Amino acid sequence: MADKPIKIPGPDHPISIEPNRSRVVVKAGGIIIADTRDALTLREASYPPVQYIPRRDVDMAALTRSEQTTYCPYKGDASYYSIPAGGDRSINAVWTYETPFEAMARIKDYVAFYPDRVDEIKVI
């Protein structure tokens, strides 16, 4: 990973992670994929907030790991999952940082969903 830059969140690119005690439910293909009261809300720079959901509250059997990977200089390497029940729309709908950088260690063992690749992400 020596050829990949590693950046630390700061005033020029703030990232905050806060517990979200509201119930967060994710549906795809008409089924509940995730249901938790232990989500983390990640706010990064000017991007919309993202709900990171603990794997223990995700139906991981409903996901299929894909070959897709990306790199974020603030978080590290992301792995992706598709949701077969959601059809083509739900390809690479889920991402996770399995070994995030130290500054983002709180999102290890959590997954996030692209809102446009699932039926809904409801915060109740």
Give the domain CATH number at 100: 2.170.150.40
Q: Is 92 inside any structural domain?
A: yes
Q: Write down the pLDDT at residue 22.
A: 97
Residue 3 in this model has a pLDDT that exceeds 90:
no
Q: Which residues of 41-74 are buried (b: 16+ CB within 10 A; e: fewer)?
A: bbebeeeeebbbbbeebbeeebbeeeeeeeebeb
pLDDT digits (tens, 9 = 90+) for 4-29: 999 999 999 999 999 999 999 999 99
91 belongs to a structural domain = yes
The answer to whether residue 115 is domain-embedded is yes
Q: Tell me the average pLDDT of the chain.
A: 96
Residue 101 has pLDDT above 80, yes or no: yes
33 in any annotated domain: yes
Confidence at residue 2, expressed as pLDDT on a 0 to 100 scale: 59
Tell me what the mean pLDDT of segment 85-108 comes to: 97
For the full predicted model, state whether its pTM sits above 0.85: yes
pLDDT at 77 over 60: yes
Quick one: average pLDDT of 80-107? 97
Residue 101 within a domain? yes
Identify whether 41 is part of a domain: yes
Which parts of the chain fold into alpha helices (H)? none
Whether 48 is in a domain gets the answer yes
pLDDT at residue 56 greater than cutoff 80 = yes
pLDDT beyond 60 at 121: yes
Its domain, for residue 107, covers 15-123
Report the domain count for the chain. 1
d(CA 116, CA 120): 8
